[in-house]
Chain A
Amino acid sequence: MNAAEPTLPLRYPFPLGELGGLPPLIRWAQKHAPVCPVRLPSGDRIWMLTRRDDIAKVFADGRFSRHLDANSPRVAGQDITTVERGLFHLDPPDHTRVKRVVSRFFTRRTVTDYRDHVTTEATRLLEAMTEGPNPADLVAAYAQPLQFQVMRQVLGVPEELWAEHERIFRSMASLTSGPDEVAEETANIRQLVTRILTVRTASPHHDDPIGALIAARQAGEISEDEMIGTVFVLLFTGTDAVIAPTAEGALILMEHRNQLDRCLADPGLWPKAAEEVLRYYHNGVLGFPIVATEDVELHDTLIKAGDGVAASMQAATWDTSHVRNPEKFRIARKETAEATFGAGPHYCLGSQLARMYISTALQTLFEHLPTLYLAINAKEIPWRNDITFTRPTQIPVTW
């Protein structure tokens, strides 16, 4: 091993690339160690996949399961994967049955119904931001509150619990702060889920994902644990997951002013811009592990039964076998963000919602403030790589 090669196993989390780009260690692994041993903050060891074809193959392979038990590897202790029987952790056919209950709220056609809501909330937040101090932090003034305000209505969080919802999700647990913080976060979300379900069960039925899960439970289509686990997953992935691409999208467009100007001149390009943002960034460097249910050999590496495997979806969208010059942000490129949403039965439920949301959030932002620019050097933007949804924590902007 020469001096330029890192010591294995790699230790997660990895330092990010410039402007939140693909971590250099992942680039290295993609080239030299396609089934790469990685030690997680929990101390557990997993195999990391970084090539798009490998990820697609393994995540559609029935010899790997989402169902983790007490001995399975965990990223940082009692995280989301310890919540039993949520959509996230089920394998077919249970997964198919539970997913059917909520999937109709996330189709390409359905999500267009939410567009006006995103625009209205975005406009309101931007009006408030421009009445306040200039420069301002775009994450705190826009990206973060927008997701709260949109998603609590999309998912069906009752109004009396909005403040609680915001309090719990305002800061995410650090994966490196030890198992207690992560366990506390999981416990807090669990309590919120219970309270949401109590309020919603006692209220008149509303046709939204949480309402549909309650109705399915009452009709005996899903179990109590499946209802609770799936509401947990929807809240977890639906509350913080698009803060990152909204913030990162704004940042990278400000840094690529020509492409931003093209979008402003031709609004039909916003979906292309959102697609490229989703390809360029993934809101988690490494996904949650799955486990092998039997021995599997891949690239001459034996993945033993019980071993954990995790994928870097950002690596998949930066795989040079599929994407030319992946480090270049180009809204006109032909390659899509498809691989960022995963593969197999667990292909991201919210992919269409994410696309619509990010496109609308970025369009509204820049149409409202076409001269928005960074108030500091882009290299000074603070990023956190120690949270599940990696992202900038502040983006000081001026207008």
Chain B
Amino acid sequence: MFTLDPLDERYFLPGAEHVTIGLSPWNGRYKPRYIEALTTWARQAFGKVDVFVPGYQAAHTLVAAGFPVSEAVRRTRRTINKLRNPALRALTAAGEPEPEKHVLTWTQLHSRPEYQRGLARVHEAYEHNPAVRGACRSTARAAIDRMDSEPEITDERIDLAVGYALAELPLVLDGPEVYQVESTMFVYHKEMELLDPFLRPGAPVRPAPGQGYAVVTDREENDHERRRADPAAAVPVPAR
């Protein structure tokens, strides 16, 4: 059972017709069971769902963290499959007629002119807006850091890894255009620093009309974690 919390009340659209799920690589949370459960729940809750998986730029994060290129590419290919397959299984089981069209890497989404236009806008904002640039670079730095990078995180390494954030942004800023729906809620398991500059007043690129955001929480997992940390909390509490 999943619940949604607003990231920003202005962009909370629980009645959206569609939900967008972004799956993160090399993140302990995105295990097959979690992905399958989240996708199944999202389709039931919203009716329409699209799941996106990182494209080839994910390898740049590994290279920036010191992995040899060939290993980075191999790991990325494997990870993309591992993220995609549970989502595909969930949609197939839910009776989605063409599940493979709803679980795509952003490299695959590059076939859509709507995504290409969004990407061009994001690159433009990255070039000219310091806040956007800062958020993208900070996200890239954090991603490299999570890989236990040994080498010092230099500007050059961030330059290499930042393509990941840039490629992801069109999907979270303008899901309605890319997925051809009136409204969509982008759900992620935590707040995204990357979105901050786009939600502020006077942002150079704003989320498109019909684009919503929510933090999605797996209540069962949370309860399980709480019980582990505090056995007393495992005592069932009667419903009010």
Contact = CB atoms under 8 A, between A and B. Distances in A.
A380 interface: yes
B89 interface: no
Interface in A366-399: 375-377, 380-384, 386, 393-394, 396, 398-399
Contacts of B120: 171
Interface in B105-140: 105, 107-111, 113, 116, 120
A133 B107 contact: no
B56 interface: yes
A396 B59 CA distance: 11
B126 to A, nearest CB: 15
Interface residues on B, range: 20 to 34
Interface stretch (B69-77, B143-151, B196-204): B69-77
B176 interface: no
B109 A382 contact: yes
B227 to A, nearest CB: 41
A134 B63 contact: yes
A396 B70 CA distance: 13
Interface in B18-62: 55-56, 59-60
Contacts of A377: 77
Given A133-B163, A377-B77, A382 B60 contact: no
A380 B63 contact: no
B113 A382 contact: no
A393 B120 CA distance: 14
B56 A393 contact: no
B114 to A, nearest CB: 9
B59 A135 contact: yes
B16 interface: no
A177 to B, nearest CB: 7
A364 interface: no
Nearest to B84: A380
A133 B116 CA distance: 20
B69 A380 contact: no
Contacts of A386: 113
A398 B111 contact: no
A398 B70 contact: yes
Contacts of B73: 135, 375, 398
Given A382-B108, A394-B107, A396-B55, A134 B113 contact: no
Contacts of A382: 107-111
A396 B113 CA distance: 18
Interface residues of A, number: 21
B80 interface: yes
Which of B55, B69, B70, B113 has the largest count of A CB atoms less than 10 A from its CB?
Answer: B113
B55 A135 contact: no
A376 B160 contact: no
Contacts of B109: 382
Interface string A160-195: 000000000001001001000000000000000000
B107 A376 contact: yes
Interface string B75-87: 0110010000000
Contacts of B108: 380, 382
B77 A384 contact: no
Contacts of A398: 59, 69-70, 73
Interface of B: 55-56, 59-60, 63, 69-70, 73, 76-77, 80, 105, 107-111, 113, 116, 120, 160, 163
Given A380-B107, A382-B111, 13 more contacts: A133-B63, A133-B163, A134-B69, A135-B73, A174-B113, A375-B59, A375-B76, A376-B80, A380-B80, A382-B108, A384-B111, A396-B56, A399-B69
25 contacts: A134-B63, A135-B69, A137-B56, A174-B113, A375-B73, A375-B77, A376-B55, A376-B56, A376-B80, A376-B107, A380-B80, A380-B108, A381-B107, A382-B107, A382-B110, A386-B113, A393-B110, A393-B111, A393-B116, A394-B107, A394-B110, A396-B55, A396-B56, A398-B59, A399-B69
Interface of A: 133-135, 137, 171, 174, 177, 375-377, 380-384, 386, 393-394, 396, 398-399
